Amino acid sequence: MANTLTEAEVLNIMKAEQGAQSLREFAATIGVTPAYISDIYNGRRHPGAKVLDHFGIGKTSQIIVEYVFFRKKK
């Protein structure tokens, strides 16, 4: 089984690699806009394929279905 990461862990990896670089420099290294990186850091967007690929991270999704038991009132 592969190691899994939370989104918070991905953000920590991104911030660690950014280090002392400006947002503009870091974004240019990845090939995205500084606004996009800012949106990721501020929770407005999720890291997309281009960002994840830069760090060698893949993305999988799960669908969780929950059933709730209830009875109609008579």
**Domain locations in the chain as residue ranges:** 1-74
14-65 residue pLDDT tens = 999 999 999 999 999 999 999 999 999 999 999 999 999 999 998 887 788 8
With cut-offs at 50, 70 and 90, classify the pLDDT of residue 1.
Answer: very low
Per-residue confidence (pLDDT) for residue 2, from 0 to 100? 62
Per-residue confidence (pLDDT) for residue 35, from 0 to 100? 98
Cα–Cα nearest to 51, from 2, 4, 1, 15: 15
Q: Residue 47 burial (CB < 10 Å; 0-12/13-18/19+)?
A: buried
CATH, range 1-74: 1.10.260
